[in-house]
Amino acid sequence: MDIAIFALKRLASAIVVLFAVSVLTFLIFFAIPNGDPALRLAGRTATAQTIATVRHDYGFDRPLWVQYGKVMKQILDGSIQSYTQHVTVFSQIKRGLPATLSLAIGAAIIWLIVGIVLGVIGALRAGKATDVAISTFSFVGISAPSFVLGSILLYLLTYKLRIFPPGGYTPITQNPIQWAEHLVLPWVTLAVLYIGVYAQVLRSTVLDAMTTDAVRTAHAKGLSPTRVMIKHVLRVSLIPIASLWGLDFAAVLGGSTLVVESVFNLNGVGQYAADSVRSLDVPPVLVITLLGACFVVLMNAIVDVLYAVLDPRIRTTTS
Amino acid sequence: MSDIEVFQRAPITDEVLRVEHLKVSFRTERGVVQAVDDVSFRVGRGEVLAIVGESGSGKSVSAMTLMGLTRSPNATISGSARLADGTELVTASDRDLQRVRGSRVAMIFQDPMSALTPVYRVGDQIAEQIRAHEKVSKAAARARAVELLERVGIPRAAERSRAYPHQFSGGMRQRVMIAMALSCSPEILIADEPTTALDVTIQSQILAEIEDLRQETGVAVLLITHDLGVVAEVASRVVVMYAGRVVEECEVHEIFKDPLHPYTWGLLGSVPRIDKVRPDRLPTIQGSPPSLLRPPSGCHFKTRCPHRFAECDREPELRALEPNSVHRDRCHLSLQDKRALRIVDGAIGLPIPVEKELS
Amino acid sequence: MTDVVTSPAGTKAAAALLEIDHLMVMFPVRAGTWGAVVGHVHAVDDVTLTLAEGETLGLVGESGCGKTTLARTLVRLTEPTGGTIRFRGEDLTAKRNKDLRSFRRYVQMVFQDPQASLNPRKRISQIVGAGIRLRGTSKGMKARREVEELLARVGLDPDHAQRYPHEFSGGQRQRIGIARALAADPKLVILDEPVSALDVSIQAQIVNLLDDLQDEFGLSYVFVAHDLSVVRHVSDRIAVMYLGKIVELSSSDELYAQPMHPYTASLLDAIPIPDPDRRRDRRRLVGELPSATNPPPGCRFHTRCPWATDLCTEVEPPLAEFANGHEVACHHPLNVGRTQLSEAIRSESSPRSSGAELTLSPAEAHRVEIDEAQGKDETP
């Protein structure tokens, strides 16, 4: 009963969020100077007459809210087309999705595992050289912009040392080894920022957890240090990390892959979005933004459930 | 001085723990803190030894050191603490200590609300300790956990053993802690302010529970407390600590009827009593405890003691003032003077000195 | 008195300093993943109390009884959900935040944990000076001198005015907290467990200091504590609370000599006395505090009371008032004769939900054995 009400509330707020996102994205393009889509649709050599015809045919001379309604209807029935290429937006997205998912999922797994390992080592060696090294690495990773880092890696490892192939994407179904080779650098580039964040967050939650009364009790029980660390320190410290991971993964898929895809020329959804922004092509940007927002909203709900699964204090009520 | 000699005169024939010359200091940013300064005591089989003192007296640090819980790169620990079979706790390797913890020496803490790991069922947390020390199946360990919970007065133990710590009240959590501590039949139970965080009606339930279990299992209890009421209620012997040192040690009756150290007098005097006529003003101890970074030379209590004299600049030793007595204290006053000086307005206490604040 | 809070109705000469009338404070209880409101905690449930000028009222009870919530509501740190609080005849519950300003200097609070209640980034002079500014009369050098005088008065070195809270010990910090409260020149000080976090010897110093200050500054105190021995020492009258209700109200001495409510009696019985000859085979209160979200019907104490009858499970006892002013909310009070019982009247302070008539009979007539099984079976 309660859960149904809250699920409904949640759904309602999600719809409000998505509506606001769509309106804002839509308006931004009309606020951009020289953003008239009729110019692009009519082609380079169009006469003023052609432009006017195109403008009328596409309804660009109608009031904004009418245009918005029309675009949204097309998005919902899947028929929306790009203004610059005469293909449906969804077919383009479907084409880029494997590359984007490979990049985001791979990077998310890497940063979770490496972040946890570095965070725990940092906490166990707090104040020692290893800890200082990890912290330094973390802060460099957090502050290095991914296009800089990506470019450096590409230059050094691909063009100088020729270890990895230059940009591009090979589907996993075609050749798994090439798929991985092409993705190693993008994964690392995308993951480094999050590894830094996770290592630092986990280091401090582990350090806090190690001094709690509950952990003192665990030691007093005569448990081995390893068991205390895994069952009593890590198990509790990982709760916030798990929810952070869900939200970050959503954020990455909802937009952060854009730069990395462009640097490594992966032809994913992010790169498609970047190209569309560059050519002021509204429909793809609108659709990708909305999909991203949908995913963020969905992951938020999943994280809430995950939290309850991991922490009995939230799952079960005190009577 | 010879501790051994004093010990030999003591009536304890069967001891489970002997602590000798225990010293614990911590390096801090502001200097070295001598938290425990040459502490010796013994715990006899089945007795309740209370260590009494205020914050900073070193009572908790002493107890935690026995469990190896104060070990850290910043801590320096010396002296000796031996179990009945000669197992040395102070110098034991981490691995040896791990075997002793929870099985031969168990501990319960002040705040039961935070003492259990929040994400595991209480039955599993007890079973975890059993399985750390004995080769039994998970199911057998869980079954024993339920028995233990039942034994310490948790209703519907089988069902409650599957509940999480936050679903228990403070008193019930302390019962869970006691069940866990006793799960491997230890020789000594160290109880560090076990009832301080609890309400008074729950406190009396928990103290009664500990007392019942002691009688039933014969476990010796090392009770760390600041509350002289609790001491009177359950202890058989008392050690009073002040600023890292033992200042008095005796049978429980003597601490209330014949206290010999001025600090003990002050402590007894400043407790408001519901069983006596209420005085206009509560007797107090002037000032506050000394910094353990730079404790005063000689007697540690001299800065707050209205009876101090020239001799107090020399460190007094812990000694018995009467031959063949197990009542020892650390003060230069003569027995005759002590017995005269400790009575203030008809009760034991410290007089309020003329100067407002002693420096 | 010149600094009386102006009251439109005109203050009665003999009016109490503080009148708490049918005060209610309820908190929503949220639970589950989605944070749904599953009930309400009746933290303070229809409490009526008065405090005279210069009096100390002790407020005791175990954790969860509502004593701290009541104290916080008196300074409006917690908003009441019903009832009124009048300070010198003026209704404070009707006031908005802005209008409360002028009242705040008259009612000050001292908190349990001096460590947590003092801003660690402010110097002592600033912390104490804030109270003086609230009064709005002194500025500059004059204010500074007043800070130093106050510090000296509470037993601190005035030369330490420029130090930060962490440079002081627990006892000294509580002295700072007291100086901060006094700086506003209040009439009423709410002391919320002011000595619970302190060592015994320091406790006694602070209690004596509070005693002296009361005489010197003509203060009234509401002293909240769980430690019944300390409360007895400082209070003129004591109110005992259980699950949000006042169960007994009496002069301090009488409460300890003749507790009438079985709950009060068991609280007193549970205090360990520092005398090994008095190791008593006491009657131990069984069970634990029932849930405040769903309190037992009738008398809230009946689930743990050895004298409970059917009446107790059905009718909430009103406060019976005896000739000497002693009030108790119990159908079967202890330590009281039949004549006194027949002369008792239903107190005006009785909760609205309580029985309309007194139905008193002595506890001894209903003596039942303590049911051990009932005892520990109260799951939290």
The predicted-structure confidence for A175-197, as pLDDT tens digits, reads as follows 888 888 888 888 998 999 899 99
Tokens 């502001």, located at residue: B30
One domain, residues C81 and C226: yes
Q: List pLDDT tens digits, range A236-292.
A: 999 989 889 988 998 888 777 788 888 888 888 888 888 888 887 888 888 888 888
Who wins on pLDDT, A260 or C350?
A: C350
Domain boundary among C209, C228, C243: C243
- By C-alpha distance, the chain C residue nearest A317 is C31
Per-residue pLDDT, averaged over B214-235, amounts to 94
Element (H, E) at A77: helix A64-77
Strands C320-321 and B31-44: unpaired
Give the burial string for C210-233 (b: 16+ CB within 10 Å, else e): bbebbeeeebbbbbbbbbbbbbbb
- C179 and C108 within one domain: yes
C190 with C301, same domain?
Answer: no
Amino acid at C355: G
Q: Return the residue matching tokens 């033992």.
A: B246
Q: Is residue C106 part of a domain?
A: yes
Residue C71 CA from chain centroid, whole number? 6
Taking residues C232-243, what's their average pLDDT?
Answer: 94
> C132 vs A2, which has greater pLDDT?
C132
Whether C77 and C154 map to the same domain: the answer is: yes
Residue with more model confidence, B45 or A64: B45
Same-domain pairing of C230 and C351: no
For A49, the 3-state DSSP assignment is helix
Q: pLDDT (tens digit, 9 = 90+) per residue, A63-86? A: 888 888 888 888 888 888 887 777
pLDDT at residue B358, as a whole number: 40
CATH code at position C127 = 3.40.50.300
Q: What tokens appear for B156 in the block?
A: 């519907």
| Count of structural domains within chain C | 2
The pLDDT of C47-72, averaged and rounded, is 93
Task: Calculate the CA dihedral of residues A279, A280, A286, A289 and round it to 10 degrees.
Answer: 70
Q: Are residues C147 and C55 in the same domain?
A: yes
Does any domain span residue C362?
yes
Tell me which chain B residue has its CA closest to the CA of residue C270.
B201
Spatial CB neighbours of C137, under 8 Å, sequence gap ≥ 6: none
The answer to whether the CB atoms of C274 and B288 lie below 8 A apart is no
- What percentage of chain B has pLDDT greater than the value 70? 94
A223 closest CB neighbour out of B67, B94, B132: B132
Query: What is the biggest distance separating any 2 CA atoms in chain C, rounded to whole angstroms?
Result: 69
C155 lies in the same domain as C49: yes
Same domain, C186 and C79: yes
Higher pLDDT, A114 or C197: A114
Per-residue pLDDT reduced to its tens digit, C152-199: 999 999 889 899 988 888 889 999 999 999 998 999 999 999 998 888
CB B263 within 8 A of CB B57: no
Task: Please state, as a whole number, how many other Cβ atoms lie within 10 Å of the Cβ of residue C325.
Answer: 12
Q: How far is the CA of B17 from the CAs of B13, B220, C86, C340, in angstroms?
A: 12, 9, 61, 58
Query: Is the pTM above the cut of 0.90?
Result: no
> What is the separation of C-alpha C174 from the centre of its chain, rounded to a whole number of angstroms?
19
pLDDT surpasses 50 at C378:
no
Question: Does C190 lie in the same domain as C52?
Answer: yes
Clarify whether residues C233 and C369 are in a common domain.
Answer: no
Predicted confidence at residue A167, as pLDDT, reads: 76
Neighbours of B181 (CB within 10 A): 29
Identify all chain A residues contacting B118, using CB atoms and an 8 Å cutoff. 214, 236, 311-313
Interchain CB distance below 8 Å, B274 and C268: yes
Q: Which residues pair with B220 in a beta bridge?
A: B188
Q: What is the pLDDT of residue C337?
A: 85
Domain range for C203: 16-28+41-243
CA distance, residue C10 to nearest chain B CA (Å): 38
**Whole-number Å distance between alpha carbons of C221 and C252:** 14
Q: Are B166 and A318 within 8 A, CB to CB? A: yes
Pairing of strands C36-51, C188-192: unpaired
The residue among C243, C259, C277 that closes a domain is: C243
Rounded to the nearest angstrom, the minimum Cα separation between B257 and chain C is 9
Q: Which two tokens stand for residue C86?
A: 């009048």
Whether residue C159 lies inside any domain: the answer is: yes
β-strand B328-329 against B319-320: which pairing, if any?
antiparallel
Residue C182 within a domain: yes
Report the alpha-carbon distance of residue C149 to residue C159 in Å, rounded.
11
Average pLDDT, chain A: 85
- Decide if A73 touches B, using CB distance below 8 A: no
Nearest to C376 among B153, B266, B283 (CB): B153
| Cα–Cα nearest to A141, from A198, A200, A202, A194 | A194
The answer to whether B200 contacts chain C (CB < 8 Å) is yes
pLDDT band, residue C293 (cuts 50/70/90): confident
Examine the domain organization and report whether C226 and C313 are in the same domain: no
Of C222, C243, C264, the position where a domain reaches its end is C243
Statement: residue B244 has pLDDT above 50: yes
Q: Is residue C318 in a domain?
A: yes
Let me know if residue C201 belongs to a domain.
yes
The neighbour count for residue B173, using CB atoms within 10 Å, is 23
- What residue spans define the domains of chain A? 2-77, 96-278
In a domain, C35, yes or no: no
Residues C67 and C179 in one domain: yes
Cα–Cα dist C122/C145, whole Å: 18
- Does C270 contact B288 at a Cβ distance shorter than 8 Å? no
Interface of B with C in 282-311 (CB under 8 A): 282-286, 288-289
Class of domain A96-278: mainly alpha
